[in-house]
């Protein structure tokens, strides 16, 4: 089961810990099979930005759907929002991002490469011995301009988090819905951070996607809700099929906490490069609403007409990343095993997360096999995420489906026309059973449930 730890443990040295070389294998699989690619690769790529291929999009959609289902649709106390990526720049001044959303940066005086000051060891660059400059604060927000003039009055920012779009809409949602604290507003969307050192494939990106909930509560209940949400959020990752022993909750030390935060936990995963943040869950007090209230001059308080008390709600924020969840799912699902003297690579995705749930494979490209297989695929398509494939030898096709994590393959063979049956092959047991075509759907539904 997932554990709670009290101390930040240092990452294991490179190559040690879980799966030396696993990241390289995974990145190569991701490209070969179409999960993710370096962005604009034909031009040499662009650092910190990735594009998601057909299977990557399917996996991300499954993640986002599962999050939205559990955080919004299955609850009566959370509503959704989709705010603009570019906001009035005054919002970022009020939130503190213009002033404080910075990382300490040093530059090597010899090679002029730049690093995060907290990620270098010592006063000199290890590679070339160059001395580092004094550390300066570097703001991570991407800047852009609104309209045809480029000057300081038209400068705007790409949002570095989705949360502020929720805070500035607090009273719009309150006044247009029937929500009252405790209640939450959820949002999924792109965020941008000009990270000094992006890396570890899609772990630290410059363009990424967040899934955030701002949960507004009466001030006295804030810590109770922090406890509630940290447990809920950890449990959510288990429902995706991630193994509990690779997950933990880590409370923030006092010196890690933002000055306004009353408590925070990270949900961490044991990545091949060490335990790292998958999601942050923080009790933010009334910091954000009060800051926007002051800067905008608009009242962002709530009047409780039962207790007759007016207050600015406090906020508990679970903030997750689509990209890190995707990477985690792929790492956690990755298995290598030997089958009859050959190596088999399998992504053991849970049935809910698998990009393709059922592959339909005619044993050969001959008629009537392909026609029958296409018909089966069309019949199953409304019920499952399916894929039809008649390209190579059946062994290679099974291997591909294993590598992309497809739980079941239906093989249409030379007997099918006679016995009106097909074979279901299971990814995990590698067992094969013969099933009448008329029962394929219910058989698969039972197995995928």
Q: Does 346 bind ligand ATP (CB under 6 A)?
A: no
Give the binding range for ligand ATP (CB under 6 A) out of 164-172, 300-308, 315-323, 356-364.
315-323
> CA 208, CA 52: separation in Å to the nearest integer?
11
Q: Does 321 bind ligand ATP (CB under 6 A)?
A: yes
Min dist. Cβ of residue 264 to ligand ATP (A): 9
Q: Does 103 bind ligand ATP (CB under 6 A)?
A: no
Q: Does 205 bind ligand ATP (CB under 6 A)?
A: yes
* 263 versus 280: smaller Cβ distance to ligand ATP: 280
Q: Does 210 bind ligand ATP (CB under 6 A)?
A: yes
Min dist. Cβ of residue 32 to ligand ATP (A): 23
Backbone angles phi, psi at 306, to 5 degrees: -90, -50
Residue choice 214, 286, 323, 387 for contact with ligand ATP (CB under 6 A): 323
Q: Does 389 bind ligand ATP (CB under 6 A)?
A: no
- Residue-level length of the chain: 449
Q: Does 248 bind ligand ATP (CB under 6 A)?
A: no
Q: Does 324 bind ligand ATP (CB under 6 A)?
A: yes
C-beta separation of 377 from 360 below 8 A: yes
Q: Does 189 bind ligand ATP (CB under 6 A)?
A: no
Min dist. Cβ of residue 279 to ligand ATP (A): 5
> CA 213, CA 391: separation in Å to the nearest integer?
44
Min dist. Cβ of residue 196 to ligand ATP (A): 10
Q: Does 250 bind ligand ATP (CB under 6 A)?
A: no
Find the distance separating the first CA and the last CA of the chain, reported in whole Å: 23
Query: How many other CB atoms are found less than 10 A from the CB of residue 375?
Result: 14
Q: Cα–Cα distances in Å, from 108 out to 104, 119, 136?
A: 14, 13, 13
> CA 37, CA 43: separation in Å to the nearest integer?
13
> CA 429, CA 348: separation in Å to the nearest integer?
11
* 322 versus 440: smaller Cβ distance to ligand ATP: 322
* 27 versus 320: smaller Cβ distance to ligand ATP: 320
Counts for the chain of helices (H) and strands (E), in that order: 13, 24
> CA 252, CA 264: separation in Å to the nearest integer?
5
> CA 410, CA 444: separation in Å to the nearest integer?
10
Min dist. Cβ of residue 280 to ligand ATP (A): 3
Residue 371: left (phi > 0), alpha (psi -120 to 50), or beta? alpha
* 213 versus 444: smaller Cβ distance to ligand ATP: 213
> CA 15, CA 436: separation in Å to the nearest integer?
49
Q: Does 279 bind ligand ATP (CB under 6 A)?
A: yes
Q: Does 328 bind ligand ATP (CB under 6 A)?
A: no
Give the binding range for ligand ATP (CB under 6 A) out of 22-30, 89-97, 319-327, 366-374.
319-327
Q: Does 319 bind ligand ATP (CB under 6 A)?
A: yes
Query: How many other CB atoms are found less than 10 A from the CB of residue 16?
Result: 11
Give the binding range for ligand ATP (CB under 6 A) out of 70-78, 166-174, 179-187, 203-211.
203-211
Q: Cα Rg for the chain, rounded, in angstroms?
A: 25
Give the binding range for ligand ATP (CB under 6 A) out of 57-65, 245-253, 276-284, 379-387.
276-284
> What token pair was written down for 51?
């594009």
Q: Using CB under 6 A, list all residues that contact ligand ATP.
A: 161, 193, 195, 204-205, 208, 210, 277-280, 319-321, 323-324
């Amino acid at each position: 089961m997932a554990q709670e730890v009290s101390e930040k443990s240092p990452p294991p040295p490179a190559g040690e810990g879980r799966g030396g070389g696993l990241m390289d294998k995974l990145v190569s699989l991701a490209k070969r099979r179409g999960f993710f690619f370096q962005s604009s690769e034909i031009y040499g790529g662009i650092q910190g930005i990735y594009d998601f291929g057909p299977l990557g999009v399917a996996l991300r959609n499954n993640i986002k759907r599962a999050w939205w289902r559990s955080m919004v649709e299955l609850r009566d106390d959370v509503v959704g929002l989709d705010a603009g990526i570019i906001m009035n720049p005054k919002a970022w001044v009020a939130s503190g991002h213009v002033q404080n959303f910075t990382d300490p940066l040093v530059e090597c005086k010899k090679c002029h490469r730049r690093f995060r000051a907290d990620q270098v060891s010592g006063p000199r660059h290890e590679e070339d011995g160059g001395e580092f400059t004094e550390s300066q604060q570097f703001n991570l927000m991407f800047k852009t301009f609104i309209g045809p003039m480029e000057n300081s009055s038209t400068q705007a920012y790409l949002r570095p988090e989705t949360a502020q779009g929720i805070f500035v809409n607090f009273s719009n949602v309150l006044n247009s819905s029937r929500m009252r604290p405790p209640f939450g507003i959820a949002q999924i969307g792109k965020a941008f951070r000009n990270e000094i050192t992006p890396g570890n494939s899609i772990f630290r990106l410059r363009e990424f996607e967040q899934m955030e909930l701002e949960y507004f509560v009466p001030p006295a209940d804030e810590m109770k809700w922090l406890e509630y949400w940290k447990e809920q959020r950890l449990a959510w990752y288990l429902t995706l099929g991630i193994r509990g022993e690779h997950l933990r909750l880590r409370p923030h030390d006092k010196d890690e906490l933002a000055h306004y935060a009353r408590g925070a936990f990270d949900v961490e995963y044991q990545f091949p490069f060490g335990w790292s943040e998958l999601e942050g869950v923080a009790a933010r007090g009334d910091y954000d609403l009060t800051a926007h209230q002051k800067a905008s001059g608009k009242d962002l308080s709530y009047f409780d007409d039962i207790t007759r008390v007016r207050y600015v709600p406090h906020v508990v924020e679970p903030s997750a990343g689509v990209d890190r969840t995707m990477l985690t799912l792929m790492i956690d699902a990755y298995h290598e095993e030997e089958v009859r003297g050959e190596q088999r690579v399998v992504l053991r995705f849970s049935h809910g997360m698998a990009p393709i749930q059922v592959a339909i494979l005619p044993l050969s490209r001959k008629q009537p096999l392909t026609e029958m297989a296409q018909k089966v695929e069309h019949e199953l398509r409304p019920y499952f995420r399916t894929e039809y494939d008649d390209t190579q030898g059946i062994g290679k096709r099974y291997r591909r489906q294993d590598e992309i994590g497809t739980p079941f393959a239906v093989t249409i063979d030379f007997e099918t026309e006679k016995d009106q049956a097909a074979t279901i092959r299971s990814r995990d047991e590698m067992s094969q059973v013969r099933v009448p075509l008329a029962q394929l759907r219910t058989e698969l539904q039972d197995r995928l449930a």
